[in-house]
Amino acid sequence: MMQFQLELLFQIIGIGSASGLIFNDTSLYIICDNSTYLHEYSLDLKTITNHSIVANPMQNIPKKDKPDFEAIASFENSFYIFGSGSTEKRNKMLTLNATTKEAVATDDLSGLYSVMQNFGGIKPEDFNIEGAIYNGSNWYLFNRGNGKSKKNVIFTIAGKNLTDEFTILSNAYKLPKIKGVQTSFTDAVAVENKIYFLATAENTQSTYDDGIVLGSLIGCIDTKTMKIDFTLKISENQKFEGITVFKNAATTIEFLLCEDNDSDELKSDIYKLSIIK
């Protein structure tokens, strides 16, 4: 069995329901599924800066109204933030200048999400984008299979844009069970020619309603074959929803993870996960 170490690195007060992470230089950028801010936490200064990414930003938005920003990707000088697509209010993608943290574009991905549902054989009620990666030529969007049909799917999207000029490939995965419950994608990050993903077992058949959390795992996919290299259970009772690379050394790799405790409490636990390559 692969060796790993999971430890609580720090706790951020004032941010809740963390759902996606980007680590850059000495700052950790955090999105939350109930917020319309990009939160910047300085690891050196231990301070939080809240960047407004929409007009009239809000914190702790009611569930029925929230845009449900569940995935964040970065490439060069841009951040890309995705709504989950699990309701009609959750179909937006924001593009941010990574230097100024200002939104430079807002796109409606309803058309793309509809094509993805048809292409992947996913019913609208089972559609739930929870992870995103961009490498400059391909997008990888991760559908979390926590609906009734359990459709864990990675969509590989290429083209000039994500609104009207794109091509799609899809790969479906049967992920391991924890305590008899199917795990489902919650986030992912690229490292060279590999994709490292998180998946959680949550006892629910709804992309909208939360369930009892039964544990989480990390896995690795080779981008050349799109096959799973390994999976490794890392928790018996935690729901990890965000992953970013912290340190990448010759023999080990360290990730930062955020935990979603499915509550209104404005507190986020950030963990460090170290695994042997």
**Tens-place pLDDT, residues 48-62:** 999 999 999 998 898
Task: Give the model's pLDDT for residue 147.
Answer: 86
Does residue 6 carry a pLDDT above 70? yes
User: What per-residue confidence (pLDDT) applies to 265?
Assistant: 78
How confident is the model over 61-114, as pLDDT tens digits? Answer: 988 999 999 999 999 999 999 999 999 999 999 999 999 999 999 999 999 999
Q: What is the pLDDT of residue 262?
A: 62
1 has pLDDT over 70: no
Give the pLDDT confidence score for residue 204 in this predicted structure.
Answer: 73
> Residue 206: what pLDDT?
63
Residue 200 pLDDT more than 90? yes
Q: Which domains does the chain have, with CATH numbers?
A: 4-276 (2.120.10.100)
pLDDT-based confidence at residue 263 (cuts at 50, 70, 90): low
What percent of the chain is predicted at pLDDT more than 90? 86
Predicted confidence (pLDDT) per residue in 206-233, tens digit? 656 677 899 999 999 999 999 999 999 9
What is the chain's mean pLDDT, rounded? 94
Place 17 in a pLDDT band, splitting at 50, 70 and 90: confident
Distance, in Å, from the CA atom of 119 to the CA atom of 110, rounded to the nearest integer, reads 14
Higher pLDDT, 1 or 10: 10
Share of the chain above pLDDT 70, in %: 97
Residue 266 burial (CB < 10 Å; 0-12/13-18/19+)? middle
